[in-house]
């Protein structure tokens, strides 16, 4: 059994894909896009280690209140086996949709060992490096070069393009979690961006 090393968990998110979503950010990325909003997600260091089966079990329990799961990072494809275990479990045990953010292009993912399997389990892939000079301040893409791939018929392009670009979530203990994309010209938000993270996450609770 593999373990996924997460950077962050946001159990209810409305700015990381259609509807209310359970969002997770993987820890670790070696792609090094200049201007990445979330350098905290880059180190391959233990942060929130979770067996994918435990995450799937929680999603199964909570699926009546969710539209889907969103997986972001960091770079999810750099924990490919755990990613496959997670999204295949979601597909097998829930009716949730799957949105995946990756810094790799579709062609790069197709060429990876686990890439075709991952692509067969995902509804929407938002793919490509973040390019700071082409930064966007709306929608789900961090920069204009990134591509939205509708891999199943579950969503349309307007469904994806109409998603809020950012959100602030107030937790039961009063803590704030910000996720999404900062408008151009604002510089780096303390918190996070679609490139891609949350400033604060809950501690994983089973
Ligand atoms: S923008 Fe995404 S792919 Fe690029 S360095 Fe940051 S986390 Fe990695």
Residues 68-107 pLDDT 10s: 999 999 999 999 999 999 999 999 999 999 999 999 999 9
Is the CB of 33 inside a 6 Å radius of any atom of ligand 1? yes
139, two tokens: 């929608």
Ligand 1 pocket, 126 CB below 6 A?
no
Architecture of domain 4-180: Alpha-Beta Barrel (3.20)
User: Is residue 188 scored above 50 in pLDDT?
Assistant: no
120 three-state secondary structure: coil
Kindly indicate the confidence band of residue 185, based on its pLDDT and cuts at 50, 70 and 90. Answer: very low
For ligand 1, is residue 29 a contact (CB within 6 Å)?
A: yes
Predicted pLDDT of residue 31 = 97
The CA distance from 13 to 177, in Å, is 10
Residue 9, pLDDT > 70, answer: yes
Predicted TM-score (pTM) of this structure: 0.90
Give me the mean pLDDT over the 160-177 stretch: 84
For the chain, the distance separating the N- and C-terminal CA atoms, rounded to the nearest angstrom, is 17
Give the pLDDT of residue 182: 60
Atom of ligand 1 nearest to the CA of 130: 1
Alpha carbons 107 and 61: distance in angstroms, whole number: 35
* Predicted local distance difference test score (pLDDT) of residue 76: 98
In this structure, of 115-124, 149-158, 194-203, the range with the lowest mean pLDDT score is: 194-203
CB distance 9 to 59 below 8 Å: no
Q: 64 CA distance to ligand 1 centroid (A)?
A: 32
In angstroms, rounded to a whole number, what is the distance separating the alpha carbons of residues 66 and 11?
A: 9
The predicted structure's pLDDT at residue 195: 42
Q: Which one-letter DSSP state was computed for residue 77?
A: G
Contact 6, 50 (CB under 8 A): yes
Helix H segments across the chain? 52-62, 80-93, 106-110, 115-119, 157-161
The answer to whether residue 123 scores a pLDDT higher than 50 is yes
Contact present, 11 and 22 (Cβ < 8 Å): yes
């Amino acid at each position: 059994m593999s373990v996924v090393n997460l950077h962050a968990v946001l159990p209810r998110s409305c700015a990381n894909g259609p509807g209310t979503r359970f969002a997770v950010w993987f820890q670790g990325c070696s792609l090094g896009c200049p201007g990445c909003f979330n350098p905290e997600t880059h180190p391959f260091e233990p942060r929130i280690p979770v067996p994918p089966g435990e995450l799937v079990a929680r999603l199964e329990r909570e699926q009546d209140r969710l539209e889907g799961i969103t997986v972001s990072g960091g770079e999810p494809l750099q924990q490919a086996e755990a990613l496959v275990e997670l999204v295949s479990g979601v597909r097998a045990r829930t009716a949730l949709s799957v949105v995946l953010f990756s810094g790799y292009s579709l062609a790069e993912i197709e060429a990876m060992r686990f890439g075709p399997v991952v692509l067969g389990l995902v509804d929407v892939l938002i793919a490509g490096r973040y390019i700071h000079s082409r930064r966007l301040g709306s929608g789900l893409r961090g920069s204009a070069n990134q591509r939205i791939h509708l891999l199943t018929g579950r969503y349309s392009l307007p469904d994806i393009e109409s998603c809020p670009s950012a959100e602030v979530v107030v937790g039961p203990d009063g803590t704030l979690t910000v996720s999404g994309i900062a408008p151009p010209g604002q510089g780096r938000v303390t918190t996070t961006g679609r490139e891609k993270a949350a400033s604060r996450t809950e501690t994983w609770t089973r």
